[in-house]
Amino acid sequence: LPSPNEKNQYDSTGRILAFKVSQDKHRGPLVWLRSYGSSLDAKSPLLNLSREIEKDSDNKKHVQSVIERSTGLFRPFADELLPIERIEPGDIVVASGLRHTVTGETLIPYVKNNKTFPVPLEAIVVPPPVFAQSVEPVRANDYDALERALSILTMDDPSLRLEKVDDSLVISGLGELHLQIAQQRLDRDFKIPVQLGSPEVELRESVINSFSHD
């Protein structure tokens, strides 16, 4: 990664990297940020360079840039979050209220009518999942809450994936222990006990030798 004072080779606008997402019972999702050249007030809007969303307008779909506005900036100090009013180059801060930003995405201060944007910082490479299990709530009326909780966990942990297969929820990750930790978090943090189905392990094969046959 570049140093905080490094000049952007394409634009003078500094960039901000979202390098972690965590959850807070009272504040909701918290996005951990590091500034590479940007100064920003707590209430200033941010443009997400790494993401676009599809919106319906006049029965037509169009792609729109994601503009975020934090509800607060905090400086982490041990297990406390101290409110601050401004972020400076090189700062590591925590932002609340960012609804769309996830780990590895790049933000810049939003300037209306600005059409020149810097290149996003290199995204964090997430290994592909190799282990999958279906997940079901112990209590049948927890299904909707389980789906929301799993969506939150996948925001926290990009290596954890969620998909629907034949009306069942399937989570996949980097191993059996990885999915067991997700199961424990669902019970501990969200009060949703779940059962995991039979594991499915991704198998990859490759050709190492070839021959011809007449």
Residue-wise pLDDT tens for the chain (214 aa)?
A: 555 555 444 344 678 999 989 888 888 889 999 998 878 888 889 988 887 655 555 555 445 678 888 999 999 998 889 999 998 888 999 999 988 888 888 988 888 877 777 787 877 788 888 899 999 999 989 999 999 999 888 888 889 999 988 888 999 999 999 999 999 999 998 999 999 988 877 666 677 777 776 6
- pLDDT given for residue 9 in this prediction: 42
CA distances from 186 to 40, 149, 175 (A): 35, 7, 17
Residue 17 · residue 33 · CB < 8 Å = yes
CA distances from 87 to 39, 123, 199 (A): 5, 22, 45
- pLDDT given for residue 118 in this prediction: 76
Q: 207-211 long-range contacts, Cβ below 8 Å, gap at least 24?
A: none
Stated pTM of the model: 0.72
The CA R_g of the chain, rounded to the nearest whole Å, is 21
Phi, psi of 105 (to 5 degrees): -95, 155
Distance CA 56, CA 62 (A): 7
